[in-house]
Structure 1
Amino acid sequence: MAEPTPTALAVQLLATLGRDKDRLSRIDNYLHGRHDDPYMPAMADDEYRLLAKRAVSNWTPLLVNTPAQALYVDGYRTGDDDGQGSATNLSSPQWEHWQRSRLDARQSAIYKGALTYGHSFTLTERVKGVVLTKGLSALRTAALYEDPANDDTPYAALTVTTWPMAEKPGTARMWDGRFEYAVTFKALDDSEGVTIAKGKRHGASECPVTRFAASVDLEGRTVGVIEPMIPLQNRINQTIFDLLIAQTYASVKVRTVSGMAPPVQRDPETGEVVYDEHGNAIPLPINHNAKRFLFAEDPDVRFGSLDETPLGGFIDSIDMSIRHLSAVAQVPPHHLLGQIANLSAEALQAAETALSRKIQEFRTVFGEAWERVFRLAAELEGGSADDFKGEVIWRDMEQRSLAQAADALGKLREQLGIPAKGLWKRVPNVTQTELDEWDDLADEEDSVGQLASALSRATPETATAATVPAAA
């Protein structure tokens, strides 16, 4: 089978962006609070529509930010020839590339993009003689895979740099296994308007774009955390809209009176009733409010009231919908409802279990993607791209007191015989810089200890010879 031409690849990638545009744009709208309107009557007035806008209660950013805030790469452990990991340090080429690309701060946007849309991308390339990695948005980027469910290396990838405007065509960059191409296009679905410039080598042995997918099924489809939650988000918005309608129009008692006619306008000279053009008497305005009360001279007049609509059912329904959202999204209810009173440590830990498992799943799939990024960077730096033994080190984001951690680590050291140096990385909130500093200090202390031990072994003989006559 003949290899597809660069032009054919660009047409297919642009068509993929066009096919996914509506779905990804809808997800983006929900992330930023632009939701579908709740149901309302066809003849709804402006007041109804204002209440519909106020009914939007956007929970989707919390579904993205909660797991993303627990994802933080803190180091990279390279593999040695025996398959054993060796702790990274600040001078390793992999970590220098990480710091040079400012990924300490920029990694969060990559995770949030993958969690929001189902996938995001990174590009590893040489820029002005320096190898850098940056994130690419799923709204602008598409990739082709021979086996999208199992391959981590794209056959080709394309990212839009500028969209078409008026008569000006859009521009894009495309990469395959060897070359980078400059692409111009008139529209995503216009195969005739795509032009490709001559390719130039990008320096890697495979496509330098890496996909970060939150979840991939065996059909190669990626799903984020927002799209499955849209029906539940709409249900919450509808319930809040119904609550606002009841609160606005039916949350207060309505006073009623029967058997009483309002006073009407009369001619000041003749005292006769004034009628409008339809022959109806013109009533006088009544100044009635909560501070006033009505009375009637006619004993047949009857006063009454209509009870207000209870709002408790609407509030309970909102609470139930949020709990459903919490269960399906695997986000603890107290993260959404803010209710943590009277919860024991064991109850909090049990509530966090589902979220912890979800975060661990994300760390596994995103960690594999980062390992490919490090291999690409090593190859572009002139090294080998065959280091499949390395692994990223994720920061421990669990909230534990230093006293609890020290007690647990001490027991591991005493009861299991784990070397103290191997437990350093489990100290809460320790950074790679601190670990490297501790390592240097430990080497210095070890050198001083060896010197002191050598001196102590040499000193006793001299000291004994000098002190024995004096004792005699």
Structure 2
Amino acid sequence: MPEPESSSTPRVLAVQLLTVLDRDLPRLERIDAYMQGRHDDPYMPAKADDEYRLLARRAVSNWMPLLVNTPGQALFVDSFRRGTGDGARTAGDLPEWEHWQRSRLDARQAAVHRGALTYGHSFTITEKTRAGVRTRGLSALRTAALFADPANDDTPQAALTVVRRPADKKPGQARMWDGRNEYRVTFASYTDKSKVTVQKAGAHGATECPVTRFAAAVDLDGRTVGVVEPMIPLQNRINQTVFDLLVAQTYGSFKVRTATGMAPPVQLDADGNPVLDERGQPIPLPINVNAKRFLFAEDPDVKFGSLDETPLAGFIASLDMSIRHLSAISQTPPHHLLGQIANLSAEALLAAETALARKIADFRTLLGESWERVFRLAAELSGDAGAAGDFAGEVLWRDLEGKSLAQSADALGKLAAALGIPKRGLWARVPGVTRNELDEWEDLLEADDPDLQLARTLRRAAPEPEPGQSESA
């Protein structure tokens, strides 16, 4: 009788990770469908015709991309600052930041952030390539990770990403990483454990799993949730209201003219006899009624009237209320959703943006910790042991608030004058300034200051003190 496999063998880990993907995929695919505008149909009669179904398709008002993009556009990592050693400053020439630029993460970080906001989590893989250490994003729809404590651990025990799903009788392929090695995984389906094969591809070069999880929110049970899933019921309510509005607008938003006590004219054949339908009834002539025509009848007993149109104000008010609920629950300012920004004072705009600013601050805290782990992995793979153990480093987020340059200049000037904050320490607070611009300002300042140039030259020329010898000695 064969011995049971250890719970930590690569094949067992691969089976567990594929099982996690199979468990989470229906929920993640539903979130993805809502993000793409493929929503559940609104309620309609069981025998609804094609016209009703057409209105149901047109009733979809997809608010999900706006809920993701509004905080996502405020998440932009602009630089990295080491926390220890002589690198305890912002520097664009750090090896970690070179890895960032080599990976083109200025542009690609947005996909990682939006993936975390959409599904609740996304992933990155940091690895050595022929071009150097690089980091790239991994989709939550294809990637899973195992944690000993998913609520508190930032380092997974193992992670797997599907490279090719099973299709046309061809097996699926995946890459898997544990604390030391990378593996190639082949599988027939997510649930067929017997056809999972694992082959070692070699050591990945790090001392821990090189996959990093980016979570928008994690509870104490390790569950991640994004901004889309909690809003699905409200999105369905909005779609239902829009559908009811379209039905009322299509079938009842106009007056209906009526006539009683009058038989409609019928079609006549060449002999003057009524033309009959298949049931033997006379076929009435179409009546052309529009705003240019006047109705009259020769019979004095004929009465004309009208049926009032269905008021649409109630549907519009209901839609407005649902969108306001969406705004409150998602912490999205109402003027972002409703477009009503006229006659708002600066204080009112600030109050409306406060909840969103707090939400973005939460995202920056959680996602920033993940990026800091990516920088430590990049440093380790680059051979920098000191930076690999630097847990005091931090990412710097670009200030994307809508402040005018004049307001910021006035505030920064007052901070420098009243509190004595060094002016160079306030450079990063200038709206819209980039890392490259800050480096250029540093070079220009040194070029214009001969004393600073001399001090740096002497510092570089001074011999390094021997171990155990103080600088004063």
**Higher deviation after alignment, 231-240 or 277-286:** 277-286
Alignment partner of 1:148 is 2:150: yes
Q: Measure the CA separation in 1 of the matches of 2:417 and 2:429.
A: 16
Letter paired with 1:36: D
Using the size of structure 2 for normalisation, the TM-score is: 0.92
Q: Measure the CA separation in 1 of the matches of 2:421 and 2:352.
A: 31
CA separation of 1:104 and 1:296: change in aligned 2, threshold 3 A = same
Q: Measure the CA separation in 2 of the matches of 1:92 and 1:356.
A: 30
Which residue number in structure 1 is paired with residue 434 of structure 2? 431
Three-state SS of the structure 2 residue aligned to 1:153 is: coil
Using the size of structure 1 for normalisation, the TM-score is: 0.92
For the Cα contact (< 8 Å) 1:258–1:302, is it kept in 2? yes
Q: CA deviation at 1:293?
A: 2.2
Alignment partner of 1:201 is 2:203: yes
Q: Measure the CA separation in 1 of the matches of 2:279 and 2:231.
A: 57
- Which of 436, 441, 445 is 2:444 aligned to? 441
List gaps (5 residues or longer) in structure 2. 455-473
CA separation of 1:125 and 1:263: change in aligned 2, threshold 3 A = same
Q: Measure the CA separation in 1 of the matches of 2:101 and 2:449.
A: 30
CA separation of 1:450 and 1:158: change in aligned 2, threshold 3 A = closer
Task: Provide, for residues 418-439 of structure 1, a one-character-per-residue CA deviation record: whole Å limited to 9, x for no partner.
Answer: 1111111111111111111212
For the Cα contact (< 8 Å) 1:131–1:377, is it kept in 2? yes
Q: Measure the CA separation in 2 of the matches of 1:144 and 1:169.
A: 23
Which residue number in structure 2 is paired with residue 72 of structure 1? 76
Alignment partner of 1:416 is 2:419: yes
Q: Measure the CA separation in 2 of the matches of 1:149 and 1:431.
A: 34
Q: How does 1:23-172 map to 2 (within 5 A)?
A: 23-81=27-85, 86-128=88-130, 130-172=132-174
For the Cα contact (< 8 Å) 1:88–1:95, is it kept in 2? no
Q: CA deviation at 1:289?
A: 3.0
- Which of 199, 216, 219 is 1:217 aligned to? 219
Alignment partner of 1:178 is 2:180: yes
Q: Measure the CA separation in 2 of the matches of 1:331 and 1:176.
A: 39
- Which of 386, 394, 407 is 2:410 aligned to? 407
Letter paired with 2:303: R
Q: CA deviation at 1:242?
A: 0.3
CA separation of 1:276 and 1:416: change in aligned 2, threshold 3 A = closer
Alignment partner of 1:396 is 2:394: no
For the Cα contact (< 8 Å) 1:85–1:389, is it kept in 2? no
Which residue number in structure 2 is paired with residue 19 of structure 1? 23
Task: Provide, for residues 85-129 of structure 1, a one-character-per-residue CA deviation record: whole Å limited to 9, x for no partner.
Answer: 732222111111110110000000000000000000000000115
Q: Measure the CA separation in 1 of the matches of 2:182 and 2:453.
A: 57
Q: Measure the CA separation in 2 of the matches of 1:267 and 1:137.
A: 71
For the Cα contact (< 8 Å) 2:99–2:134, is it kept in 1? yes
Letter paired with 1:49: R
Q: Measure the CA separation in 1 of the matches of 2:11 and 2:246.
A: 55
Task: Provide, for residues 7-32 of structure 1, a one-character-per-residue CA deviation record: whole Å limited to 9, x for no partner.
Answer: 01000100110111110000000001
Which residue number in structure 2 is paired with residue 357 of structure 1? 358
Q: CA deviation at 1:273?
A: 4.6
Q: CA deviation at 1:286?
A: 2.8
List gaps (5 residues or longer) in structure 1. 452-472
Q: Measure the CA separation in 1 of the matches of 2:200 and 2:186.
A: 12
CA separation of 1:282 and 1:97: change in aligned 2, threshold 3 A = closer
Query: Considering only CA atoms, is the larger Rg found in Structure 1 or Structure 2?
Result: 1
Three-state SS of the structure 2 residue aligned to 1:110 is: helix
For the Cα contact (< 8 Å) 1:253–1:305, is it kept in 2? yes
For the Cα contact (< 8 Å) 2:126–2:377, is it kept in 1? yes
Task: State, as a whole percentage, how many aligned pairs show the same letter.
Answer: 71
Q: Measure the CA separation in 2 of the matches of 1:285 and 1:446.
A: 92
Which residue number in structure 2 is paired with residue 460 of structure 1? none
Which residue number in structure 2 is paired with residue 233 of structure 1? 235
Q: CA deviation at 1:4?
A: 1.6
Task: Provide, for residues 293-339 of structure 1, a one-character-per-residue CA deviation record: whole Å limited to 9, x for no partner.
Answer: 22111111110000000111111111110010000000000001111
Letter paired with 1:334: H
Three-state SS of the structure 2 residue aligned to 1:142 is: strand
Q: Measure the CA separation in 1 of the matches of 2:431 and 2:20.
A: 44
Q: Measure the CA separation in 1 of the matches of 2:290 and 2:453.
A: 92
For the Cα contact (< 8 Å) 1:85–1:390, is it kept in 2? no
Which residue number in structure 2 is paired with residue 245 of structure 1? 247
Task: Provide, for residues 157-215 of structure 1, a one-character-per-residue CA deviation record: whole Å limited to 9, x for no partner.
Answer: 00000011121101000000001000000001110110011241000000000000000
Letter paired with 2:314: G
Q: How does 1:223-372 map to 2 (within 5 A)?
A: 223-266=225-268, 268-269=270-271, 271-276=272-277, 278-372=279-373
Three-state SS of the structure 2 residue aligned to 1:198 is: strand
For the Cα contact (< 8 Å) 2:7–2:13, is it kept in 1? no
For the Cα contact (< 8 Å) 2:262–2:302, is it kept in 1? yes
**Higher deviation after alignment, 442-451 or 209-218:** 442-451
| Alignment size in residue pairs | 448
For the Cα contact (< 8 Å) 2:331–2:359, is it kept in 1? yes
Three-state SS of the structure 1 residue aligned to 2:150 is: coil
Three-state SS of the structure 1 residue aligned to 2:135 is: strand
**Higher deviation after alignment, 401-410 or 131-140:** 401-410
Three-state SS of the structure 2 residue aligned to 1:154 is: coil
Q: Measure the CA separation in 2 of the matches of 1:27 and 1:334.
A: 25
For the Cα contact (< 8 Å) 1:17–1:142, is it kept in 2? yes
Three-state SS of the structure 2 residue aligned to 1:161 is: strand
**Higher deviation after alignment, 197-206 or 305-314:** 197-206
Task: Provide, for residues 189-245 of structure 1, a one-character-per-residue CA deviation record: whole Å limited to 9, x for no partner.
Answer: 110110011241000000000000000000000000000000000000000000000
Q: Measure the CA separation in 2 of the matches of 1:413 and 1:307.
A: 69
Q: CA deviation at 1:283?
A: 2.7
Q: CA deviation at 1:79?
A: 1.4
CA separation of 1:65 and 1:267: change in aligned 2, threshold 3 A = closer
For the Cα contact (< 8 Å) 2:125–2:137, is it kept in 1? yes
CA separation of 1:92 and 1:288: change in aligned 2, threshold 3 A = same
Task: Provide, for residues 17-68 of structure 1, a one-character-per-residue CA deviation record: whole Å limited to 9, x for no partner.
Answer: 0111110000000001000000000100000000000000000000000001
Letter paired with 1:54: R
Q: Measure the CA separation in 2 of the matches of 1:335 and 1:221.
A: 29
